[in-house]
Every structure is written in structure tokens, then in C-alpha cells.
Amino acid sequence: MSLYSQRGVSAQKEEVHAATKHLDQGLFANAFCKIYDDFLGNDKNWVNVMHADGAGTKSILAYLYWKETGDISVWKGIAQDAVVMNIDDLLCVGIYDNLLFSSTIDRNKQHIPGEVLEVIINGTQQIFDWLKEFGVNIHFLGGETADVGDVVRTIAVNGTMTARWPKSKLITNDKIKPGDVIVGLSSSGQSNYENEYNSGIGSNGLTSARHDVLNKSYANTYPQTFEPYLNENVVYIGKHGLKDTIEVDGFKTNIGKLILSPTRTYAPVLKKLLEENFDAVHGLIHCSGGGQTKCMKYLPAPMRVVKDNLFEPPVIFNIIQQASRASYNEMYQVFNMGHRLEVFTSEDKAEDIISLSAQFGIEAKVVGRVEASDKKELILKGTFGEIVY
């Protein structure tokens, strides 16, 4: 059993999928988000979408970093994580404007004071103000903030995003076909709309990142940051401290900031792409939970995806793998490993998408292709060899 499983989490969320398999899949079964008829406006040419996601256990890392350094601003990053994990999923069905957001925050008041809530809530509005500069309008409708110390040990930061959208402007993944190429957009570096280096980690796999990278002192000092019934052999088993310094691509930072890099949004890039070259986009995949295997779930028919020109994994993933000794098979299922957005397109349109992404300071390249097959399968190739899922 992997360390990830021993800690009570699952990259593939098998039990969640089993619990929801009998639910209505919406109008387009292969779409990245569930899409419904326009119940809000009762117009057959429009659809409704509601999506929920959050920062996950990254909030525990923010708690540790804040307690260790006194830097309360780290909580704005958690607000961004909760927003981006929603908006970037909705981007993958073609939605990029006029969205509604409702925040859900559950906290343990014994450990999370009011000033932390202020940073998260005000930070959420600041992120919406920032995205508005790129023509991505998200309206903050408030939400629920609850003191539930018997339920959460520190804090959970989540949200729900809702949209009404023209049916003619949806990306449903039904156009993905053999012969397509896959353009991957890098998850790391510094885009021209980010103010600091982004490690690329996003908001997935943070349970592994926390316990495998950080040392046992955090278990002793902050027992509220982990499930007390876990075997001590899987709790904070790394060698690093949050304030350990490291230089990455010429940027000087520390381990804590690498792990806590706010999840990059691709909203500015995709808004421009979808407005200017909508027909070139056959499918969109957000490589979040499930990492590089995420695309398997949304293929419209049996076909083979081959990714044989992957990005070199950013430093943060090398640190996690060295600490955890996880196999490449597991790493590529848990983490994005270098690109967090995939655009399925025809070969002749790939360079246009790569050039557009470069306008925003985000490296993009063709990472793979789609081939005919009698079954759904994924093949990853690289210096690690070949992995078949």
C-alpha cells in the first residue's frame, strides 16, 4: 500500500466515483464539469453549470507556515487556491466570464482566529478584482463561515462557482479524436500576470507533500495538523523545515513557499484562446486530481493517449519524490508533474496555441497525441521509461 493510501487519501478517488456513478451525468457525459439545461433562464440555447472545489489540505501547510513565520499573508494564497480550483475546472468546459462564487469556510476557532478569516475573505475579493483586469468577471456572493471545531482540526477553505453559458460556446471533449495533438501549458515558472515564481504544485497531493517533505518536529509541535490515529511512520517523515532556503531557476525562496505556491490560473490565456480560436479547441483537461492520468476519464470513445514529450518535472516534484521514494507511476497519478492544462487540438493549430500562451509568459508545447485504439489507454514515456495506465 502506498504512503498516500496509508494516510487515508486517494489520488483517483475510487470510492467517490463509486458513490456517484448512478447520478445523472448531465447533458454532455464527457465534459470536464457537469452541464445541465438552463433551469435558471429556461432557454434551450443556454446551459447551467455549478461546480464545487477547494484548497484541500494545503490550508494545513498555510497554518504551519503562518505559525512558524508569522506571515499571515500566506492565507491569501489559500483563497486563490479555492478560487482557481473552481474557475480552471470551468474553463475546461469553455466558461470564462460572468460567474458567481460562494465561499464555504469551516474553521476550528481554537486555532484559527478572526484575522485569518479576514485575509481569506478579503483575499478572495482581491483575486476577483485582479481577474477582472483580464476580462474574467466573477461576482462574490458571500457564503458560509462556520465554527466547527469538532469537525475540522484547523480550517477547510472551499467554494462553489455557478454560471449560465451559451450552449454553442461549450467545450464538451466530444471532438477529441485520433490524430489530435495535446498542447500542455506549463504549471511552473512566472507568467507575466504573476508577481513571483510559481513552483507548479497546484492544490493536489499536498498530503504527500506535507508528510513526506517536512520533518517530525511538526508532528510534535502541531499535533492538530494531522489525524491522530495515523501510524507515526507516515506522519512528517521528511528531512526539511519550512524555512529551509533553496534557489530555483534563479529565484531564491524556501521550502514552505515552494509547497505553498498559489495555484496558477490559466483564465487569462484561455479567455483569449476561446474568444479568438474557439473552433481549434477539441478538448480541455485540467490535470488536477489524478495528475497526468486525468484525461482518461474524459475521452469520448476508446482511443490511446500517448504523452512522450512531457515537461521536465519542476523542482518541487523532485523534492517530493526523493523524500517519499514514490514510483514514477504514483507521482504521475498524484501530481501534474509540469503541466496542469491540456488543450486537445489539430496538429496545424498547435503552434497558434503555443504562441498565444507565450504572450502570457507561460511555456507551452506539444506533449503528446491521440491515436486510434480499441480501448481507452494512456502511455507516458520519458527518461523514467514507459508507464501504461
Q: Which cell goes with 348? A: 496545424
**Cβ–Cβ under 8 Å, residues 380 and 310:** yes
Domain of residue 301, residue span: 3-196+260-388
Residue 247 belongs to some domain of the structure? no
CA-to-CA dists, residue 373 to 115, 178, 303, 347, 376, angstroms:
55, 9, 4, 19, 7
Q: What's the maximum distance between 2 C-alpha atoms anywhere in the chain? A: 58
Q: How many domains is the chain built from?
A: 1
pTM of the predicted structure, to 2 decimals: 0.93
Kindly report the CATH number assigned to the domain that includes residue 321: 3.30.1330.10
Task: Give the Cα separation of 251 and 253 in Å (integer).
Answer: 6
Q: Which cell goes with 364? A: 507551452
pLDDT score of 24: 79
pLDDT score of 183: 98
pLDDT score of 13: 56
pLDDT score of 248: 87
- Mean pLDDT, each 10-residue run in order, the chain (389 residues): 61 62 84 96 97 97 98 98 98 98 98 98 98 98 96 97 98 98 97 96 93 96 94 94 91 93 98 98 96 97 98 96 93 97 98 98 98 97 97
Alpha helices in the chain (DSSP H): 3-6, 14-20, 58-69, 74-91, 114-132, 206-213, 217-221, 255-259, 267-276, 315-324, 328-334, 350-359
Q: Which cell goes with 260? A: 505553498
Residue 238 belongs to some domain of the structure? no
pLDDT score of 10: 56
**Cβ–Cβ under 8 Å, residues 64 and 76:** no
pLDDT score of 17: 56
Of 55, 6, 52, 33, the residue nearest 297 (C-alpha)? 33
Task: Give the Cα separation of 121 and 117 in Å (integer).
Answer: 6
CA-to-CA dists, residue 71 to 102, 120, 211, angstroms:
26, 13, 21
Residue 243 belongs to some domain of the structure? no
Q: φ and ψ at 192, to 5 degrees?
A: -80, 0
Task: Give the Cα separation of 49 and 158 in Å (integer).
Answer: 17
The DSSP 8-state label assigned to residue 347 in this structure reads G
**Cβ–Cβ under 8 Å, residues 97 and 136:** yes
Task: Give the Cα separation of 61 and 251 in Å (integer).
Answer: 21
Question: If you write DSSP's letter for every residue of 101-126 in order, what string do you get?
Answer: EEEEEEE-TTTS-HHHHHHHHHHHHH
pLDDT score of 252: 87
Task: Give the Cα separation of 91 and 70 in Å (integer).
Answer: 35
Residue 224 belongs to some domain of the structure? no
Residue 214 belongs to some domain of the structure? no
Residue 318 belongs to some domain of the structure? yes
What are the strands of the beta sheet with 46-54, ordered from one edge? 36-37, 46-54, 155-166, 99-107, 138-147
Residue 326 belongs to some domain of the structure? yes
Element (H, E) at 366: strand 364-372
Residue 353 belongs to some domain of the structure? yes
- Strand 339-345 versus strand 155-166 pairing type: unpaired
